[in-house]
Each structure stands twice: as C-alpha cells, then as structure tokens.
Amino acid sequence: MARRSQKDHSRDVAHAGQDAARAAGGRKSAAREGARAANAVARRAAILDAALDEFSAAGFAAARLDDVAKRAGVAKGTIYLYFADKEALFQELVRFQLTPVVGAFEAALASDLPLHALMERAVEIFSREVFGTRRQLILRLIISEGPRFPALAEFHYREVVGRVLEAVRGRLARARARGEVADDTLLRFPQLLGAPMILSVVWQGLFDRFEPLDAAALMRAYFDRLFGGAGRGE
C-alpha cells in the first residue's frame, strides 16, 4: 500500500507538471495570438494611411495598389488579405477616418443643447476632427472624384452625409416645434448647415497659401447670421 501511494504521489506530481506546462504553453500561445492580432491591426492601419497618401497624390483612378503597398512597406498581396480591391480599400478608408466624426455629430445633435451651444459644438468638432487634419483630404477626394466614380459618391453619402443629414433633420424638427427657428427653411434645406464646412475644405485646398481662412471664425459668423438671436440663445 505504501509503495502504491508513493507511485500515486509520483503520478500526481507528474500530472501537475504537465498541467503547469500546458498552462504555460497556453499563456505563450495567447501572447503570440495577441501579438499577431496587434500586428494585423497595425498593418491594416498602415495600409489605410498609405492609401490616403496615394489617393490624395494620384487620385482614385490613377492610384495603384502596388504604390499603396510600397508606401505601407508591405507586399501587394498583403493588401488583399484585408481589402478585396481598390474600391473596397477606399470605402474602408472613408469608414475608418470619418465614422468617428459622424458619431460625434450624431451624439451632439441627439442632445438637448440649445441651438447656440449646438452650433458651437459643431464648430469644435469640425475644427478639431476635420479641418487641418488628414481627414479633409478624403472630403477633397470625394469632391474631385465623386462625379467620375458615382459608386464612391453613393457610398460616401450613405455612410457619412446621409447619416448626418438625418440627425440634423431630427434636431431641426425639435427646434421648429420649440420655436427655436422661425420657419421650416432649414428643415427643407439642411444642407445649408454644412455649407461653411465644405467651403473651408475647398478653400484651404485651393487658396489657403494666398489667403488663409479661419474656418472656426467663418462658421461662427455664418451660424450667427443664419440663426440670428436664436443662434446666440437670445
């Protein structure tokens, strides 16, 4: 019996060692998987960043995935691990860059901020997240390439413009019901609220080196004229 107990003890020790080895192996495997996942995320981000550079430099039609790959420091085949083709790459670039901005506008418009505070919030979001950042390059690309590639324009409308317009219309409907705006002009033409943002992006791309534009000041002046006393909370 004593000898059998000793054997049992030895066997238990051996099993414990195996369990520990398996646990250690599992931790190493999880660490490797985590590192691979992090590398994949970083590689995907590098490809998107390189795509923005290439599309901005060459335009959508002339941009080549070979050149995107060179900019990203990866093989061309690596791009196809993440994106089916050039159009899919462009679409994901729009999502990656602009979805957070759309979400910020939607959150602001869903709030009960008074109009003057809401317009100031819009100025802050645009100034911080779009104007003067690489995101405005995407807007310029849509403006320049959209007429030649309707599918890109449609995608941008669906993922960005349409979502913002829906949120704007909802907020303006509440403003009209509360008497914050005098009539339904903005409800019928909510695009008016985006006019100074588009102007700022176009101006900076074409004329900023001749006459710099203070986009935030322009937007504040525009909203003040558009809303009058209601825009200032009066």
The CATH number of the domain holding residue 44 is 1.10.10.60
Question: Residues 52, 92: one domain?
Answer: no
Domain CATH code at residue 118:
1.10.357.10
Residue 33, pLDDT score: 74
Question: Residues 71, 123: one domain?
Answer: no
Residue 234, pLDDT score: 47
Last residue of a domain, one of 79, 94, 128: 79
Question: Residues 101, 213: one domain?
Answer: yes
Considering only residues 123 and 32, tell me which one the structure prediction assigns the higher pLDDT: 123
What are the distances in angstroms from CA 31 to CA 21, 23, 39? 15, 12, 12
Q: How many domains is the chain partitioned into structurally?
A: 2
Residue 231 has pLDDT above 50, yes or no: no
Q: What pLDDT band is residue 37 in, cutting at 50, 70 and 90?
A: confident
Question: Residues 192, 106: one domain?
Answer: yes
Nearest to 218 by CA among 144, 150, 126: 126
For 185-194, write each residue's pLDDT tens digit.
Answer: 999 999 999 9
* Parent domain of 11: 2-79
Question: Residues 105, 196: one domain?
Answer: yes
Question: Residues 141, 49: one domain?
Answer: no
Last residue of a domain, one of 52, 79, 106: 79
Question: Residues 46, 141: one domain?
Answer: no
Question: Residues 122, 142: one domain?
Answer: yes
Q: What pLDDT band is residue 132 in, cutting at 50, 70 and 90?
A: confident
Residue 140 has pLDDT above 70, yes or no: yes
Name 213's Cβ contacts closer than 8 Å, sequence gap at least 6. Answer: 200, 203, 204, 207
